[in-house]
Amino acid sequence: MTRNEIAKLLDHSVLQPFLRDEDIRRGCDIALKYDTATVCARPGDMKIVTACLRGSDVLPCTVIGFPHGMHRTDVKVYESLKALEDGCRELDMVLSVGKLLSGEEAYVRDEIAKIAEVTHDGGAILKVILETCYLDRDGIRLACRLSEEGGADFVKTSTGYGTAGAKAEDIALMRASVSARVRVKASGGIRDLDTVLLMHANGADRCGVSATEAIMKEAIERGM
């Protein structure tokens, strides 16, 4: 892969609660320097992010129902609408993990469908975060199926705030559990180039990372 192809696998993440406005702007500068796919920031930062990225092909991305997923559905929908108003082009929504584990499949599917509808109406795409660390293999398959039935464009492993992040075997399972229409994103604990390449080899179309600069420096050093 070329360094540009690697960069376009990356959603540069600036989600830590302690980040200041200047940290968000610095994160955008890093993303612009390497031409990543997106900058994924907190909802309250999106006006800063969209201003910084204007005129580039690095897209603004935010999180919905983050990090626990158990916001009310109408709150998630409202949050999605406000994010779209602020210029977001990609939304990473946390699935209602507690409802999934309670066997409430219709609730989970319908919530995803409502958020997918407003997201697509706004010209954006929806990623659904499964939080795979709380699911067994059957749970991951089920979450993937419900996400696809609800209209998600991506399924994503993790928030980065659960008990574990992305695992290559989970990426392979997710890839096998959705159709070619749905893409897969690995996120959580990805800090070096070899891990990005491993996730990609197992089916990840994107990787959520905060270590973008270190990863891209590795790619440059290797002559990619």
Which residues are designated catalytic? 92, 156, 185
Buried b (16+ CB within 10 A) or exposed e, 85-112: ebbbbbbbbbbbbebbeeeeeeebbebb
Picking from 107, 96, 106, 88, the residue whose alpha carbon sits closest to that of residue 135 is 96
Do residues 146 and 115 touch, judged by C-beta distance below 8 A? no
Q: How far apart are CA 1 and CA 15, in angstroms?
A: 28
CB 128, CB 93: distance < 8 Å: yes
H helices of 126-185, in order, are 137-150, 168-177
**Alpha carbon distance 2, 87 (integer Å):** 29
Taking the C-alpha atoms of residue 29 and residue 35, their distance in angstroms, rounded to an integer, is 10
Give the pairing of strands 90-94 and 59-64: parallel
Rounded to the nearest 10 degrees, how much is the dihedral formed by the CA atoms of 122, 125, 128, 129? -110
